[in-house]
Amino acid sequence: MKAFFIDRYGKQNGMIGEVPDPAVGVHDVLIQVHATSVNPLDPKIRTGEFKLILPYTFPLILGNDLAGVVVRTGSAVKRFNPGDEVYARPPEDRIGTFAELIAVNENALALKPSNLDMAEAASVPLAVLTAWQALVETAQVKKGQKVLIHAGSGGVGTFAIQLAKHLGAFVATTTSTANVEWVKALGADVVIDYKQQDFANELRDFDVVLNSLGADVLEKSVKVLKPGGQLISLSGPPTAQFAQEQGLPWVLGQVMRLLSSGIRRKARKHGVSYAFLFMRADGIQLQKITSLIEAGVIKPVIDRSFPFESTAEALRYVEQGRSKGKVTITIK
């Protein structure tokens, strides 16, 4: 099969070439990939930013989202059949959606929303599961609470705004001048134009902040939370608890404890909690989200679509950090 893979870490590495078809375990579903999408995670994996947390071997096929059709199933698979249209974010230790075929554990899969085409469906899993695990699972957002979502025009941000509104929250977000009206249309109640305003001076008494930006934004976010509030970061620093959950070596846990000590101390001083979120594959959660998509509650936002032959260009485009919503790649 054809796939986009790297044979070593590096910013410009990657090529399309022939690789063996994936092995299919008893709990696996073999999928013909019709479309995938590019997440900020993908170029970070390519450069080796996560090699201590995710020790991949080479050649490594990149890609963390897929939509496609089931080709065949392992002997123990019960929920899916050949011909089913499915979508997923594969488990982190078995990525590789920039390919014509992939084998995915059935627990990560869900049936594709009937009202989305393959490219639209491929734009959903990683970003929407991140938003779900932050807002529903970790923060347990309730009606009437105030939620600040940084980078509201990004892949996670566009889904998080819609999900938070569905949960009944008052939603604020940050974005650039060009996207202010656009994120308002997604449902944001207050939009902070970071080029002209400082969110830390404008917002107060929030229950939850979802951060995907740098350390300076993370530290200022503490100030907008009320006592008992929750600061959830997708961009780090990771914590010792995260290391434990990932089963990482003790020494890495101590390193992460040290890396996160500053923000955890600042959070405690303000009477709020800090959590680092590294999303996980979950087909059951994705199926719940499918119902919201089919009901029109959540809609994917696609910035650009690239053909499979232009995968390297799609990665470069996402690295620039200016996309509105998701960037997809059509494989079939």
Ordered by start, the domain boundaries in the chain are 2-124+300-330, 127-276
Q: pTM for this one?
A: 0.96
Q: Does domain 127-276 have CATH number 3.50.30.40?
A: no
- Per-residue confidence (pLDDT) for residue 28, from 0 to 100: 98
- Per-residue confidence (pLDDT) for residue 323, from 0 to 100: 85
- Dihedral angle sign, alpha carbons of residues 42, 44, 46, 52: negative
Distance, CA of 93 to chain centre:
15
Q: Please list, in sequence order, all residues whose beta carbon lies within 8 angstroms of the beta carbon of residue 26, skipping any fewer than 6 positions away.
A: 74, 75, 76, 77
CB 259 within 8 A of CB 186: no
- Per-residue confidence (pLDDT) for residue 282, from 0 to 100: 98
Q: HSE-up of 300 (CA within 13 Å, CB side)?
A: 27
- Per-residue confidence (pLDDT) for residue 172, from 0 to 100: 98
- Per-residue confidence (pLDDT) for residue 52, from 0 to 100: 84
CB 93 within 8 A of CB 64: no
- Per-residue confidence (pLDDT) for residue 55, from 0 to 100: 86
Task: Give 218-261 pLDDT, tens digit per residue.
Answer: 999 999 999 999 999 999 899 999 989 888 899 999 999 999 99
- Per-residue confidence (pLDDT) for residue 236, from 0 to 100: 85
Which CATH fold would you assign to the domain 2-124+300-330? Quinone Oxidoreductase; Chain A, domain 1 (3.90.180)
- Per-residue confidence (pLDDT) for residue 321, from 0 to 100: 82
> Which residues in the chain land under pLDDT 50?
none
- Per-residue confidence (pLDDT) for residue 23, from 0 to 100: 96
- Per-residue confidence (pLDDT) for residue 72, from 0 to 100: 98
> What mean pLDDT is reported for the chain?
96
